[in-house]
Structure 1
């Protein structure tokens, strides 16, 4: 865990909701589905799958938004930033929107999903691409490969608070 320079802090655009990450990501992703395109007003959403025990909201109370169904998308109630998603029935990880981290500069999507719905010009540097989602059986291999190859955040400069 030390090579990930944890913990990480993050928050919404207005700062009313803050979060803390204390476990390294299982996987990083770009999702090209039309739902993510509409919720981000962009070509795709970026997320890091964080083990649930390594994720906490430290300030504020996020609210459920998006489609209000499964999965549960959480937003800041004031600025409406889409912060994270908890997939229904999969309690062992939280998909944190990577751009909610105070320093997302290390983030690179390892997989991209729903390329069948991607905008023709949208490209990422993802190592693996899937027309929809990987099969459930593929996630074990993908997370093991990600753990070996993942780009990790640079350590803070000497003398800076950690």
Structure 2
């Protein structure tokens, strides 16, 4: 199952910001931390971790919102949709999968910060972590996701 059916396109809710994905994701996740709960106005946030060189904004100019620190959260300037996150010092983008034009295939492979999750929240993720996985375990998790993670139909 290596066919990701790329490229993918997507954009914010109002359509003023558009992007394209040209490389497969490294990981699919749900984060239950309180920060993500507040940022997403939900029980958890969803992310597709994309290689930076496989993600490009093709129309419009997103703005930084949320917390202003070493992790930059990008939003549409008009509709204020949280679209993606770029952490400083890393070569990846965490894309909100619901921003993809076709996103019904998405399923979290890992869930993190379950120590802070709401008691009723369930994601169906294959792997769960009370906080974050050990940094050294990401290589194996990414390999497993590349082999068996959810794909577009």
- After TM superposition, the score normalised by the length of structure 1 is 0.92
Number of equivalences = 153
2:34 aligns with: 34
The answer to whether residue 54 in structure 2 is matched with residue 54 in structure 1 is yes
Instruction: In structure 2, list runs of 5 or more residues that go unmatched.
Output: none
Q: Aligned-pair distance for 1:135?
A: 1.3
2:142 aligns with: 143
2:97 aligns with: 98
Deviations 1:69-123 (A, max 9, x none): 1211000010000000011211x21000010000111100000011111101001
- After TM superposition, the score normalised by the length of structure 2 is 0.97
CA distance in 2, matches of 1:133, 1:62: 28
| Match runs of 1:56-75 below 5 Å | 56-75=56-75
CA distance in 1, matches of 2:144, 2:31: 19
1:86 aligns with: 86
The DSSP-based 3-state class of the residue aligned with 1:67 is: coil
Instruction: In structure 1, list runs of 5 or more residues that go unmatched.
Output: 155-162
The answer to whether residue 127 in structure 2 is matched with residue 125 in structure 1 is no
1:9 aligns with: 9
* Distance change in 2, residues 1:2/1:114 (3 Å): closer
